[in-house]
Structure 1
């Protein structure tokens, strides 16, 4: 039976991971060291629609903690400290709080930890694919609400600073939710600077036909394991084209976070966990 190119590549990836796993130091580094090497990546966003009042406004994104799969509350607490050190104006979480919410014994300290995140203009979140399913959808919603976060699920909010504003839009998860971008944009004036939060990045080619200026996504984990020649070894559906970093599309700028935790495989190699800090800037003349 013929196999697809995707299956062929995945088989090669498994073989590489097998070889990778037998190297003692490589295993130790990828399993225990690099997953703890949190990086803070800064991005300047220049756009003509950014109001002058939002010059140097700071947005911090974190994503894909996957608590319960080799990521615990001690690690989350360290991440929270790092985020607060950035003095964010807004904090956004782009999905996958817990790896298996239908099985995770939710620690009562989790909402309290999330409440330690401080941002004067609000904390917002969207569903990821791991946040849905079973009773997880409702449980995650309650935890995030108790942690001081506002859910954006096919809707938007206007962020005001004096008489100026920009729009923050959030979509339901693409894989397991019911995303509806036209609904989310209802009432949005196209001339306003607009940021879209959506867990999976690969829909950007479609979203750029809407009045969206910036898309922030996660889901990919940056491939988790990156090897020369082979490239990204672990890319989930809807994160195979856009895997990490900044992509300048024709009508929008896409930023894909490598996230914080891991899933499926408890390794990171040449793919450090990250939080992203976005500095809004007036358009360059």
Structure 2
């Protein structure tokens, strides 16, 4: 009987641990200095979420919890860096996409870029319609001048569309994002789902972002103490870009922030890797 009691305690402890790791949202904050940023933009706050992987039977109470956490941060804008939904979803009305997106856009202007799962939805046209009618601006190889309420000044926000095949990726990678002459002179933030292409995002000097925001890695899914993430798609075992903030080796002012994400994809658990909401204060 003693061994049975020990087993029950261990199983109960494992269930609690996995619940915390999968649903106990963590707020991670970064202050990022961007050269030539207008003084009125300094101190503005961007919320980044990523990889929610919404699917059938997704807990709507958890969506409310996400929205409450984000609202409490009082953001100026919100960005979603891909994989809003799990791939191969067909009945989008049964997935809380609209609930999350309408909730986000009611808090602050919300922008999104596609991830690999988003473009694999059965009806991508319906997916984009839901975003548009929920006031979420989907940036597909586009740039937009973003202002912050009544304050003077702004920033260029660019979004790189996800491609289903590597051979479809343009060279240079930001080739199809068109900027006006004035935009080219202004500070730029890029939303791009895949962080492993960070160096490529900086190739075109007229479009190179000061800050790139990515997801995709789930922080390596399982995090090993003193080592980091175990595996990330596009990078393999022990990825260099797992999560957190990185600087370009040649130009330290060019930064990359990778979100650990919120949801799970094929592997159903997070291990030593809680879901994350990223809060970025511009400086």
Question: TM exceeds 0.5?
Answer: yes
What is the distance in 1 between the residues matched to 2:139 and 2:210?
Answer: 17
Segments ≥4 residues shifted beyond 4 Å: 118-121, 174-180
In structure 2, the partner of 1:244 is 243
Q: Runs of 5+ in structure 2 lacking a partner?
A: 1-9
Alignment counterpart, residue 235 of structure 1, candidates 224, 232, 239: 232
Shift of 1:152: 0.3
Deviations 1:129-188 (A, max 9, x none): 001125342232122222210110001000135442210000001455756512214325
TM-score, structure 2 length as denominator? 0.82
What is the distance in 2 between the residues matched to 1:178 and 1:139?
Answer: 24
In structure 1, the partner of 2:274 is 272
In structure 2, the partner of 1:215 is 212
In structure 1, the partner of 2:145 is 158
Q: Runs of 5+ in structure 1 lacking a partner?
A: 1-22
**Structure 2 counterpart SS, 1:190:** helix
The answer to whether the aligner puts 1:126 opposite 2:113 as a matched pair is: yes
- Verify the 8 A CA contact 1:71 1:261 in the aligned structure 2: no
Alignment counterpart, residue 200 of structure 2, candidates 185, 197, 206: 206
What is the distance in 1 between the residues matched to 2:154 and 2:34?
Answer: 14
The answer to whether the aligner puts 1:91 opposite 2:65 as a matched pair is: no
In structure 2, the partner of 1:65 is 52
- Verify the 8 A CA contact 1:203 1:238 in the aligned structure 2: no
What is the distance in 2 between the residues matched to 1:220 and 1:121?
Answer: 26
The answer to whether the aligner puts 1:187 opposite 2:180 as a matched pair is: yes
Cα root mean square deviation, aligned: 2.5
Structure-2 change in CA distance of 1:128 and 1:62 (3 Å): same
The answer to whether the aligner puts 1:169 opposite 2:162 as a matched pair is: no
In structure 2, the partner of 1:148 is 135
Give the length in aligned residue pairs. Answer: 259
- Verify the 8 A CA contact 2:222 2:270 in the aligned structure 1: yes
What is the distance in 2 between the residues matched to 1:229 and 1:52?
Answer: 39
What is the distance in 2 between the residues matched to 1:204 and 1:69?
Answer: 33
TM-score, structure 1 length as denominator? 0.81
Structure-2 change in CA distance of 1:215 and 1:113 (3 Å): closer
What is the distance in 2 between the residues matched to 1:130 and 1:32?
Answer: 24
Shift of 1:192: 0.8
What is the distance in 1 between the residues matched to 2:227 and 2:34?
Answer: 35
The answer to whether the aligner puts 1:256 opposite 2:258 as a matched pair is: yes
Structure-2 change in CA distance of 1:209 and 1:170 (3 Å): same
What is the distance in 2 between the residues matched to 1:151 and 1:265?
Answer: 27
